[in-house]
């Protein structure tokens, strides 16, 4: 009987652990803060013709979640950020900007909490 009780406690503990881990706000994807908004870096390419102008660059790389403008996790320091033609930077619910890595451009998507 005590073995069943122990197994039940272990299962309940595992379920609680999984639920708590699933509710974590930790971001595992490469991301950065710009203009007081958090952006998730995607691997979605964008053509150079869609780039409007440079708006900044990554100034600091951190090992934890970013908190300040210009900070990035898993994105190189000095990575350039760009406004995409026809899209306002970080206004409203949806926001997209571009970033450049190794001579190619990719889309970063604003994260809404």
For the chain, domain boundaries: 27-110
4 has pLDDT over 90: no
Query: Would the pTM count as exceeding 0.85?
Result: no
SS3 (DSSP) at 75 = coil
What lies within 8 Å, CB to CB, of 31 at 6+ separation is 38, 39, 40, 41, 65, 66, 72, 73, 74, 75, 111
Q: How does DSSP classify residue 34? A: E
The pLDDT of residue 85 is 85
Structure-token pair, residue 46: 């964008």
Distance CA 23, CA 57 (A): 31
The pLDDT of residue 57 is 96
pLDDT in tens, 22-81: 555 677 789 999 989 999 998 888 999 989 999 999 999 999 889 999 999 999 999 999
Distance CA 81, CA 71 (A): 12
């Amino acid at each position: 009987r005590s073995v069943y009780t122990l197994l039940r406690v272990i299962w309940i503990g595992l379920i609680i652990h999984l639920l708590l881990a699933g509710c974590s706000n930790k971001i595992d994807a490469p991301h950065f803060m710009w203009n007081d908004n958090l952006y998730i870096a995607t691997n979605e390419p964008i053509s150079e013709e869609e780039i409007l102008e440079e708006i900044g660059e990554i100034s600091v790389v951190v090992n934890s979640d970013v908190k300040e403008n210009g900070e990035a996790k898993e994105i190189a320091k000095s990575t350039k950020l760009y406004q995409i033609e026809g899209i306002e930077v970080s206004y409203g619910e949806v926001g997209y900007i571009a970033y450049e890595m190794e001579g190619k451009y990719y889309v970063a998507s604003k994260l809404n909490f």
